[in-house]
Chains A and B, each alone.
Chain A
Amino acid sequence: MEIPALAWQGLVILAVFGITLLIATYSTYAERVVAAFLQDRVGPDRAGPYGLLQPLADAVKLFTKEEFFPAGSSRGLFIFGPCLAMTTALMASAVIPFGNTILLGDGTAIRLQAIEVNIGMLYVFGVVSLGVYGLMIGGWASNNKFSLLGAVRAAAQAVSYELAMGMALIALLMVTGTLSLREIALQQYNGLWNIVYQPLGFIIFIVCAFAETNRTPFDLPECETELVGGYHTEYSSMKMGLYLFAEYINVFVASAVMSTLYFGGFSFPGEHLLYNTLTSSQGELFAHNAVTILGTVVLFAKIFFFIFFFMWVRWTLPRFRYDQLMRLGWTMLFPIAILNILLTGAFILLFGNKEAKLDTTKQPAPTEIRAVARK
């Protein structure tokens, strides 16, 4: 039974990889359409039906453009920068649980997640912060002061906002008691979504997520009005494409993480009801798989909403000034995050934490689902 299970896992990894790339590709298209719609335009509609082949056209364009190396750049690092940005971006989606398990007839359970690690959240956090090295190296290797300034900004911004983000996560950890993304998602199967316990934490988290992915209003590292193109000023062709692509993958990962941490992941209201009715009519296996698949669909709906949200904000808000950005990070978000930890601690002392509460609820717990998941 060992080999087929492994093969299935490999398939899941491939699928996660493919889906991540696909979504990032179509994010570029979606970004333009959303931007256009928010500005009373219609966006790209010439390449294929509704312009759906636009990303392909872009890819052809980027691949056929001239590869340009600025004079005095360090060539190796210049290539390494975008590669690193892309790699780290892709790595992060490995631990995101895209669904519960699919049960096969012989009792094998396939997790819809590339790898399950019990420190999933730390992993995401670490890998995403590595991404800033991609920008740093690229900006440094370009031998251009604008690139360098962009890179320096990227680094400073990432460090400042990671702090508040980490603090927001600590408050969440106090509620959930686990670092595994899968566990966190499964906990929300049985009760309220974490956003109810951590509204303040969520706001801090989402603001920091914007800063971490370098999206407007925090896209200071690539601020055109001041820095030409920021860290990718000197980049052309697909190396530039990789940077842009990495940004969209980061947006996707950030959306997935937010959905999982705060919005129930692959859980949706009424799943127990569905599970129970389906079990009585179709059998347990079918019910479990149906609920899982529906959960995955719901998760993707949540992710797409957040991706839309990222774009919506981008085309609404102007960019912060750099000192405003730093002041917001250090003098507002950071203290609020600490306050949030204190508040969370106080609430847990008063009312007990979520895990303890869950066990006392009288809801029909889908113990089967949880048991299978933990196998």
Chain B
Amino acid sequence: MKLTNRSKHLEKKPMTLLERAYLPAVLTGMGITLKHFFSKKATIRYPEELRPIAPTFRGLHVLKRDEAGRERCTACGLCAVACPAEAITMVAGERKKGEEGLYREEKYAVSYEVNMLRCIFCGLCEEACPKAAVYLQADKMAPPRFERDEFIYGKDRLVEPVDPNARSKRGIQLTAEQAEALARRMAGMDA
């Protein structure tokens, strides 16, 4: 019984003399490979060259601060609920007196951890956040590490530093040229 009508009956013909001599086919094949010898190489020499990243690329998370330098996150847990990979855990705490300069809301995240091995970088946390606190950065990725627990990023590595120049301490550090190249590519993509 045939399941579909798409099956094709192939007839295996005996090879012709020319085919049995192998050489014509061999020469054709060698012509093809020789063409590839001179063609443009697909390799990206990684640390020196970066592959183009889309401006909407979703990379490493960052917990934003507001204009006054206070942490925006209020530990509402919406991002953790939204997360399909269950990568986010947090512990909420109450803001004490005198900490108004540190946290924007009365409730804040004492700890906030993202497991980068679970995360699928879908960006749903970013969309769920009512406080515009969590974002996935377009120019940073979670770099490879030797230990699994090093992939659990705590607040020390997630919260945006007060000094924006110190930002590149986390994730892959771009050199000035690479950052410039990235900016150029992204500008090109916008156009």
- Docked pose: A88 CA to B39 CA in angstroms: 39
- Docked pose: A317 CA to B26 CA in angstroms: 7
- The answer to the question of B142 belonging to the interface, with a C-beta cut-off of 8 Å to chain A, is no
A40-B33 in contact (CB<8A): no
Assess A313 versus B37: contact at CB under 8 Å? Given A203-B23, A332-B20: no
Mark contacts of A324-342 with chain B using CB atoms, 8 A cut-off: 1 yes-contact digit, 0 otherwise.
0000100010000000000
Q: Please indicate the chain A residues that have their CB under 8 angstroms from the CB of B37 in the complex.
A: 34, 37-38
B29-A39 in contact (CB<8A): no
Interface residues in A27-52 by Cβ distance below 8 A to B read: 34, 37-42, 45
B18 CB, nearest partner CB in chain A, Å: 13
Chain B, interface SS category? helix
Q: Please indicate the chain B residues that have their CB under 8 angstroms from the CB of A332 in the complex.
A: 20-21
- The answer to the question of A312 belonging to the interface, with a C-beta cut-off of 8 Å to chain B, is yes
Q: Please indicate the chain B residues that have their CB under 8 angstroms from the CB of A277 in the complex.
A: none
Which of the four size classes fits the interface of chain B?
10 to 19
- The answer to the question of A8 belonging to the interface, with a C-beta cut-off of 8 Å to chain B, is no
- Closest residue of A by beta carbon distance from B44: A42
- The answer to the question of A118 belonging to the interface, with a C-beta cut-off of 8 Å to chain B, is no
Of the listed residues A34, A37, A203, A328, the one surrounded by the most CB atoms of chain B closer than 10 A to its CB is: A37
Q: Please indicate the chain B residues that have their CB under 8 angstroms from the CB of A37 in the complex.
A: 36-37, 41
Residue among A40, A42, A203, A317 making CB contact with B36, cutoff 8 Å = A40
A143 CB, nearest partner CB in chain B, Å: 37
B26-A40 in contact (CB<8A): no
B12 CB, nearest partner CB in chain A, Å: 15
- Docked pose: A316 CA to B43 CA in angstroms: 20
- Docked pose: A362 CA to B190 CA in angstroms: 75
Q: Please indicate the chain A residues that have their CB under 8 angstroms from the CB of B30 in the complex.
A: 312-313, 316
Q: Please indicate the chain B residues that have their CB under 8 angstroms from the CB of A38 in the complex.
A: 33-34, 36-37
- The answer to the question of A315 belonging to the interface, with a C-beta cut-off of 8 Å to chain B, is yes
Residue among B21, B22, B23, B39 making CB contact with A40, cutoff 8 Å = B39
Name B residues whose Cβ lies closer than 8 Å to a Cβ of A. 20-23, 26, 29-30, 32-34, 36-37, 39-43, 45
